[in-house]
């Protein structure tokens, strides 16, 4: 097999485990899609310091088992590797976790194309928002059962926090490597990552309560909110 001809970057890019490549000065020169999500919960310097702390003494790699968490991201191990003096990489390995809710009451829930519902909320928000809004989503997301009015109310509350920000970036994707058990059945989790330069955190508790009442996990950072939504069928 001719390994030289294989595009390894493709496989790294879509790995569920975050990978970050730094140069010798600590600047990020590459990060995969999972690491992009992670960087909303930790600083570049913090991750670079960890990379250097667990780096092998000589060229090669060093795997370390440890408990490491940034916001809702939890890892059980890291692998730090380098083969020259200019670049060093860190691979973080997600901690396996299954969240269990024994009984969920689904009154008022209906089958929904989450992208269509969310984009309708974006259009309403744009009527009062003059900044730049970027949406990156997976249009192959499965339809799911959700309480549409409650979900829209939650999204409006989140947008209200960010209305003074000059830019907002939103990513929607399946959370790879983790399922949630709802009423005895396993379902994938859809991630919503909201990131803004300015965010009014005074209503975080209200947003958390709305999310929790609708079986949605919410995680907060100074500039970001992450929602974990069970893709109930």
| Residue ending a domain, choose from 94, 120, 153 | 94
Name the phi and psi angles at 198, rounded to 5: -130, 135
Question: Do residues 74 and 119 share a domain?
Answer: no
Query: Cβ(17)–Cβ(68) under 8 Å?
Result: no
Q: Label residue 37 exposed, middle or buried (CB < 10 Å: 0-12, 13-18, 19+).
A: buried
What integer is the mean pLDDT of 134-150? 93
pTM given for the model: 0.65
5 pLDDT band, cuts 50/70/90, is: low
Full domain range(s) for residue 134: 100-230
- The helix or strand, by DSSP H or E, that contains position 174, with its residue range, turns out to be strand 167-182
What pLDDT is recorded for position 103? 67
Q: How many domains does the chain have?
A: 2
Question: Do residues 213 and 123 share a domain?
Answer: yes
Question: Do residues 123 and 72 share a domain?
Answer: no
- The answer on pLDDT for 28 being more than 80 is yes
DSSP structure string for 175-225: EEEEEEEETTEEEEEEEEEEEES---GGGHHHHHHHHHHTT-EEEE-SSEE
């Amino acid at each position: 097999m001719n390994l030289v001809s294989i595009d390894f970057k493709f496989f790294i890019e879509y790995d569920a485990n975050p990978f970050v490549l730094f140069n010798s000065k600590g600047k990020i020169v590459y990060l995969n899609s999972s690491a992009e999500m992670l960087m909303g919960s930790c600083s570049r310097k913090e991750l670079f310091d960890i990379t250097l702390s667990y780096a092998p003494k000589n060229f090669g790699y060093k795997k370390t088992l440890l408990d490491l968490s940034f916001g809702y991201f939890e890892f059980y191990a890291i692998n730090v590797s380098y083969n020259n003096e200019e670049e060093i990489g860190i691979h973080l390995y997600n901690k396996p976790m299954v969240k269990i809710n024994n009984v969920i009451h689904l009154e008022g829930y209906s089958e929904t194309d989450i992208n269509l519902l969310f984009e309708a909320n974006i259009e309403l928000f744009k009527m009062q928002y003059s900044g730049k809004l970027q949406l990156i989503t997976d249009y192959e997301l499965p339809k799911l059962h959700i309480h549409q009015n409650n979900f829209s109310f939650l999204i409006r509350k989140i947008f209200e926090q960010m209305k003074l920000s000059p830019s907002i970036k939103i990513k929607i994707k399946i959370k790879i490597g983790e399922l949630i058990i709802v009423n005895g059945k396993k379902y994938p989790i859809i991630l919503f990552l909201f990131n803004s330069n300015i965010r009014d955190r005074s209503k975080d508790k209200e947003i958390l309560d709305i999310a929790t009442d609708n079986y949605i996990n919410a995680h907060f950072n100074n500039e970001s909110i992450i929602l974990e939504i069970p893709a109930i069928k």
